[in-house]
């Protein structure tokens, strides 16, 4: 006998709600609260709350922090702060000039209305293996800056993504900035999805000689352009078997290299 519950819900469970006005305040909350979750754009987190698939005890809403939405140039690349909306990055002339790969990638992320609210840093912290931005960061070899009550550290892209929806960020860390190196002349982002705006069945990001794949492993992975599917063991789901994913990677890689 079993008692599997009817787990289907659409209103969030109760949680403590906090809206700090500064990064320091936010970090202090993340350090002191039991089981806190950062709320930025909410485009990934709120559906999970609605379905009660995520049940954090506390939400730390960072949207009230002023001056955390900048997109600026530094160190030969573009820095995107925690509250910079995906739409702002998409429309940014700075991004178009310095890192057009990032601008192109933005247009593949969900739909415009989602991008109006969603954040780049939020997408990186959410680390969905089928999403574009983690793979872009990896292909470019960028990094993120994490702040906590204990201080600040930089996490390089190849150390950031540790598993499906998992990053190296500690529970008390706030991702305050993502840094994308300037994209070179030869770049491309290509994906196959079922509908416009859907998560990719498989995708490829080319940044010069570097190639990153998404949708085919628990995290985005760097690949060898001459043998992109080597070592890959993608999972299967309703719309793509592992074989189909491997096939798509070969097709997309060929296209990306020809661009």
Partner 1 sequence: MKVNGVDRPAPAEPRRLLSDYLRHDLGLTGTHVGCEHGVCGCCTVLLDGVAVRSCLMLAVQGEGHQVTTIEGLAQDGGPLHPVQQAFHECHGLQCGFCTPGFVMSVVGLLQKNPNPTREQLEESITGNLCRCTGYASIRRAAHRAAELSSPLEGKSGPKGRDRGQ
Partner 2 sequence: MTTRWFGARVQRVEDDRLLRGHGRFTDDIDGGALESVLVRSPYAHARIVSIDASAARAAPGVAAVYTAADLPFGGTDLPILIPHPNLTHGRTQRCLASEVVRYAGEAVAFVVAESRAVAEDAAELMEVEYEPLPVVITPELAARADRLVHDDVPGNVAAEMKQEVGDVGAALAAAPRRKSLRLRFERGAAAPMEGRAVWAQWSAHERKLTVYDSTQSPTSIRGGLAVLFGLPESNVEVIAPDVGGGFGPKIMLFYPDELLVPFAAMQLGRPVKWTEDRQEHFTAVNQERGQVHEVEVGFDDDGRLLALDDDFIHDAGAYTPYGIILPIITAAQIPGPYRVPAYRVRFRDVYTNATPTSPYRGAGRPHACFVMERTLDAIASELGLDRVEVRRRNLIQPDQFPYNLGVAWQDGNTVVYDSGNYPALVDKALALLGPRPSGEHVGMGLSVYVEGTGVGPYEGAHVQVLVSGKVVAATGIPSQGQSHATVWAQIVADELGVDVADVEVTSGDTRRFPWGVGTFASRGAVTAGNAMGVAARMVADKARRIAGEHLEADPQDIELVDGRVQVKGSPGRGMPLAAVSVLANPVRYAFGGGTEAATQFTARPRPGPPLREGDQPGLEATGYYSPPGSAWASGCHAAYVRVDPKTFRLEILKYVVVHDCGRVINPMVVEGQIEGGVAQGIGGAFYERLAYDDEGQLRNASFMEFLMPYATEIPPIEIDHIETPSPLNPLGIKGAGEAGVIPVGAVIASAVEEALGVPITEMPISPLRLFELARSQS
Q: How far is the CB of 41 from partner 1 (least distance, A)?
A: 8
Cβ 213 vs Cβ 119: under 8 Å: no
As given in the structure block, the two tokens for residue 158 are 């190849």
x/- mask, partner 2, residues 34-73, rule CB under 8 A, reads -----------------xx---------------------
Among the listed residues 158, 156, 243, 257, the one whose alpha carbon sits nearest the alpha carbon of residue 211: 257
114 binds partner 1 (CB under 8 A): yes
In the block, residue with structure tokens 């470019």 = 140
Task: Using CB under 8 A, pick the residue from 1, 5, 8, 10 that binds partner 1.
Answer: 10
DSSP structure class, residue 193: -
As given in the structure block, the two tokens for residue 230 are 């080597």
Stretch that binds partner 2, among 77-85, 113-121, 219-227, 237-245 (CB under 8 A): 237-245
251 binds, among partner 1, partner 2, none (CB under 5 to 8 A by kind): partner 2
Describe the strand order of the beta sheet including 202-207 as a list of residue ranges.
187-192, 202-207, 210-214, 221-223
Task: Using CB under 8 A, pick the residue from 197, 208, 218, 242 that binds partner 2.
Answer: 197
CA dist., res. 122 & res. 176, Å (int)? 10
Q: Which of residues 56-75 bind partner 1 (CB under 8 A)?
A: 59, 61, 63
Cβ 46 vs Cβ 11: under 8 Å: no
Among the listed residues 122, 87, 119, the one whose alpha carbon sits nearest the alpha carbon of residue 103: 87
x/- mask, partner 1, residues 164-203, rule CB under 8 A, reads --------------------------------xx------
> In terms of DSSP bridges, do strands 187-192 and 143-148 run parallel, antiparallel, or are they unpaired?
unpaired
Residues facing 168 on adjacent strands: none
Q: How far is the CB of 69 from partner 1 (least distance, A)?
A: 13
Cβ 95 vs Cβ 178: under 8 Å: no
Task: Using CB under 8 A, pick the residue from 74, 151, 195, 258 that binds partner 2.
Answer: 195
Q: In the complex, which residues of this chain contact partner 2 (CB under 8 A)?
A: 1-14, 51-52, 192, 194-199, 238-241, 243-244, 247-248, 251
Q: In the complex, which residues of this chain contact partner 1 (CB under 8 A)?
A: 10-17, 19, 39, 42-43, 46-47, 49-51, 59, 61, 63, 87, 110-114, 116-117, 196-197
């Amino acid at each position: 006998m079993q008692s599997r519950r009817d787990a289907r819900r659409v209103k969030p469970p109760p949680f403590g709600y906090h809206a700090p006005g500064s990064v320091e305040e936010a970090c202090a909350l993340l350090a002191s609260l039991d089981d806190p979750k950062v709320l930025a754009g909410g485009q990934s987190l709120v559906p999970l709350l609605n379905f009660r698939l995520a049940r954090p005890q506390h939400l730390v809403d960072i949207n009230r922090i002023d001056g955390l939405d900048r997109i600026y140039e530094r160190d030969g690349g573009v820095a995107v702060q925690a509250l910079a909306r995906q739409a702002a990055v998409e429309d940014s002339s700075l991004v178009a000039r310095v890192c057009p790969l990032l601008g192109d990638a933005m247009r593949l992320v969900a739909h415009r209305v989602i991008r109006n609210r969603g954040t780049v840093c939020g997408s990186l912290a959410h680390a969905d293996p089928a999403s574009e931005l983690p793979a872009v960061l990896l292909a470019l070899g960028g990094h993120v800056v994490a702040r906590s009550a204990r201080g600040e550290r930089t996490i390089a892209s190849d150390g950031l993504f540790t598993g499906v929806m998992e990053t190296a960020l500690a529970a008390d860390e706030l991702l305050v900035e993502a840094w994308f190196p300037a994209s070179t002349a030869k770049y491309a982002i290509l994906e196959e999805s079922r509908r416009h705006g859907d998560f990719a069945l498989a995708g490829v990001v080319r940044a010069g000689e570097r190639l990153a794949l998404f949708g085919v492993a628990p995290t985005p992975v760097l690949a060898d352009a001459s043998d992109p599917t080597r070592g890959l063991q993608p999972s299967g789901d309703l719309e793509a078997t592992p074989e189909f994913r491997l096939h798509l990677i070969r097709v997309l890689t060929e296209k990306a290299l020809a661009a």
